Structure 1
C-alpha cells in the first residue's frame, strides 16, 4: 500500500490565542502515527482501495494519502485525487440556500410554492423553505421513486405528493427534500444551480477544482469508486443530483471549505461569510443531533456516543420526532459540526470544531459504514489535543 504525507502552514485560518491545555502545533509524530494506524486498519477491515485524509489545526494543514485511486491502473491516491462527496454536497446546498436568504432573494419562512409557481395549489402551499431544507416537510422519502427521471416528472411528483406528518414535527432525511430547497433557491436567483454554487461559493473560497461534472483535463485525477462487488463504478446522473449529492473534489480542496466554516470571518466576501456562519444555526433537535442547513450539529464538548447516535441508521432511514427550536439556536463556536456522504462507490466524512480550530476530511473510494468513519475521525482528532 502506498502512503504519502505532507504538511502546509497557513491557509484560511488565523492562529488563535490558545488556552493553557493546547499548543498551536500538534505533536506531528503522534498525529502521523495515529493516522497511519487508524487508516491502515480501516482500509484493511473494509477492503477500501484508497483514501485521502486532510486535517486542519490552528492554521496548519496535514495531508495523508493511501492506496489506489484506480486498482486497474495502479494509480496512487494523491492530494489532487478527486472523490465523489455524496451527501457532503448538501453542505454546499445549505450554503447557497443561506446565501439566497442573506442577499434577500428568499426567506426560509417563505412557502415553497411562493418561489416555484408549478407547486402552487399543492401541499407545498403550506410547507416552508426551512422545512424542505431541514427534512421536516412531512415525510419526503430518502430517494425519488425510480421512475422519476426528468425534471417534468419531478415537478409532477411534487405536485401530487402529500405529507404523512404535519410539517415541522418529524425529520425524515431526504434527497428530494433538500434537493428541492436548493433548486428553489436557484430559481429565486434566476440562474442555474451549478453556476450559482461555482460563482457564489466555490470561486470566492478559492475552490477551483471542485466539480459537478469533472472536466476532461481533470479526469486523470478522478478516482474510481468500488462497489460491494469491488467493481469500478462512478455516479450516474439523476434528478436533483447536483443539489443533493453531486459534487466531486479532493481532500485538499474540501479542507479549504472546512476552514471557511471554522472561521467565516476570514472569508473575503462578507455576505458569503454571513451565509456560511448561518448554516450553523440550529433549527430542529432530533435526539442528540441538531439540524442546521446541510450540517448536523452537536453542542461542544460532545461524546463519541452522542455523535454516533446522531449518525445512526435510525436517523438516516426513518422518520424521527423533531423538536422545533424557537427561536433557532444562533451559530456558536462551541459546536461539533459534521456530515457524512456516500455514493455507491465512495464514502466521505467531514467534521470540525470551530472553538478548537480543528477539522478533518476523510475521503474513500468505497462506501463503508458511517460508524467506522466517525470512529476513525474521532481517533485522529484526539491526537491533536
Structure 2
C-alpha cells in the first residue's frame, strides 16, 4: 500500500549522478544510477532481496541484491522467481485483448454471454471493458471471505448490486479483472491458467513465468517475507491466478516490457493484443486507465506518478471520465503497474517512444512510493539522451 513520501525517498532522486545515461555509454553509468536508487531500499525497508532489470534501446542490464531465502541464504539472481502480484493483471488484460484479436470475444460483450448464470443480473449491465478497467459500478477490492469457490463466486456476482452506473467510477478490484480473465478463458474454451502458461507466455517469449510453479523450478522460487519477517508465499483464492497469481523473473519481465515497447516485433495476432492494452479508456485523476496498464503523458513529474499510484486510487472509488474516442498512443506515454502480495512487491514502467523500461521485483511488500521514486529517478536518467 502507498504511504507518504519520506525524506529518504525524496533524497533518492537528488543523490543520483548528474551525468545522463546514454545508450552508447558503458554499463557503469547505468550501474551507478541503479545502485544509488535501489540498494539503499534493502536497509531502509528491511527488504531481503531485490532484482532490477532495465532496457535501453534494446540493451538489457540486470542487477541483483540480497537473498531469495533468508533461512538458506540463497542469493537473488536474474533467474529468481518472484510473485509479481497485481502486475499479473497486465497479462490478464493481454489475454483478453488476444481473445478479441482472435474474434473470440468483444470488449463490448456482457459477461452473461459467457456465464449464463449472470444473464439478467445487475452485473450484466457492465461490459467486459468495464470489468477490465474497474468501472463496472463498484465491485470491491476483494471478495468477501465467504467466497471460497466457483459456485460461491457465481452466487456473489448474481446477488451483487452496483453503487453507480457502469463507467461512472473506477474502483480498483480483483473480482472485476478476475471475472474478465475467467470469461476470457470460457470464451477460448480453456482454463485461464492453461491459456496463460501454454499459449500467451510462449508467444511473448517468456520461458520462466508461471501461475503454477513446476517442481523443477521450486528451487528458484524466492520466499517472501511478511510484516512479522516470516517466510510466506501467496495463498490460493478465487481468481488468484487472474488478479495476482503470476510468478516471474526479471529476465522474463524485461522481455515482456520490450514486447510492449516494440510490439511490431511480434507476430499477429499477439501484436494486436499487446497494442490493444495500450489504448486508454478512462481518465481518472492523474492517470488514464487502459486494460491492465495505467498511463501518463511523458515526461511525467514524480508527484503526478505518485498520485496516480496512491492509496486513494487503490482503495477508494474515483470519478472516471470515458474517453470518446479511446486514447491511442500518439505522444510519448509512460505505462506502469504496481503489484504486491503479502510477501512480495513489484513495479514495472516503460516509455515506448524513448525505448526505455524498468522492472523491479522484491521479496517484501515495501512501500509503493519508494519503488516508484527509485524507478522514476533511473528512468529519468535513461531518458535524458536516449534515442
Normalization by structure 1: what TM-score?
Answer: 0.92
Hey, what does 1:221 align to over in structure 2?
220
Hey, what does 1:150 align to over in structure 2?
149
Hey, what does 1:203 align to over in structure 2?
202
1:147 deviates by 1.3
| In structure 2, distance between residues paired with 1:285 and 1:327 | 12
| In structure 2, distance between residues paired with 1:52 and 1:288 | 28
Judged with a 3 Å threshold, the aligned counterparts in structure 2 of structure 1 residues 48 and 307 are, in CA distance, closer, same or farther, namely same
Q: Provide structure 1 residue ranges, at least 5 long, that are not aligned to the other structure.
A: 1-20
Hey, what does 1:11 align to over in structure 2?
none
Judged with a 3 Å threshold, the aligned counterparts in structure 2 of structure 1 residues 252 and 176 are, in CA distance, closer, same or farther, namely same
1:97 deviates by 0.7
Hey, what does 1:235 align to over in structure 2?
234
* RMSD of aligned residue pairs (Cα, Å): 1.2
Secondary structure at the counterpart of residue 67 of structure 1: strand
| In structure 1, distance between residues paired with 2:106 and 2:285 | 27
| In structure 2, distance between residues paired with 1:183 and 1:371 | 31
| In structure 2, distance between residues paired with 1:23 and 1:341 | 29
| In structure 2, distance between residues paired with 1:166 and 1:274 | 30
Deviations, residues 177-215 of structure 1 (Å, cap 9, x unaligned): 000011111111111111111233200122111000111
| In structure 2, distance between residues paired with 1:168 and 1:26 | 47
Hey, what does 1:341 align to over in structure 2?
339
| In structure 2, distance between residues paired with 1:64 and 1:374 | 17
Hey, what does 1:6 align to over in structure 2?
none
| In structure 2, distance between residues paired with 1:103 and 1:87 | 25
Whether the 8 Å CA contact 1:263–1:354 is kept in 2: the answer is yes
Hey, what does 1:300 align to over in structure 2?
298
Hey, what does 1:381 align to over in structure 2?
379
Runs of 4 or more above 6 Å deviation = none
| In structure 1, distance between residues paired with 2:260 and 2:75 | 30
Higher relative contact order (CA 8 A, sep 6+): 2
Hey, what does 1:59 align to over in structure 2?
58
Deviations, residues 332-364 of structure 1 (Å, cap 9, x unaligned): 461100000000000000000000000000000
1:26 deviates by 4.0
| In structure 2, distance between residues paired with 1:70 and 1:54 | 20
| In structure 2, distance between residues paired with 1:203 and 1:333 | 30
| In structure 1, distance between residues paired with 2:197 and 2:378 | 31
Hey, what does 1:12 align to over in structure 2?
none
Deviations, residues 225-274 of structure 1 (Å, cap 9, x unaligned): 0001111000011101110000001101110000000010011x211001
Whether the 8 Å CA contact 2:260–2:275 is kept in 1: the answer is yes
Hey, what does 1:3 align to over in structure 2?
none
Hey, what does 1:275 align to over in structure 2?
273
| In structure 2, distance between residues paired with 1:172 and 1:229 | 30
| In structure 1, distance between residues paired with 2:158 and 2:48 | 43
Whether the 8 Å CA contact 1:350–1:362 is kept in 2: the answer is yes
Hey, what does 2:320 align to over in structure 1?
322
| In structure 2, distance between residues paired with 1:258 and 1:59 | 10
Hey, what does 2:117 align to over in structure 1?
118
Whether the 8 Å CA contact 1:301–1:334 is kept in 2: the answer is yes
Hey, what does 1:30 align to over in structure 2?
29
Whether the 8 Å CA contact 1:282–1:329 is kept in 2: the answer is yes
Which of 273, 282, 289 aligns to 1:291? It is: 289
Secondary structure at the counterpart of residue 92 of structure 2: helix
1:66 deviates by 0.4
| In structure 2, distance between residues paired with 1:24 and 1:382 | 13
| In structure 1, distance between residues paired with 2:27 and 2:330 | 29
| In structure 1, distance between residues paired with 2:354 and 2:289 | 21
Normalization by structure 2: what TM-score?
Answer: 0.92
Hey, what does 2:160 align to over in structure 1?
161
Deviations, residues 56-107 of structure 1 (Å, cap 9, x unaligned): 0101000000000000000000111000010000000000010111111111
Hey, what does 1:309 align to over in structure 2?
307
| In structure 1, distance between residues paired with 2:330 and 2:371 | 25
Q: How many residues align?
A: 364
| In structure 2, distance between residues paired with 1:105 and 1:29 | 48
Q: Provide structure 2 residue ranges, at least 5 long, that are not aligned to the other structure.
A: 1-19
1:306 deviates by 1.1
Hey, what does 1:48 align to over in structure 2?
47
Secondary structure at the counterpart of residue 270 of structure 1: coil
Moved more, 191-200 or 90-99: 191-200
Hey, what does 1:80 align to over in structure 2?
79
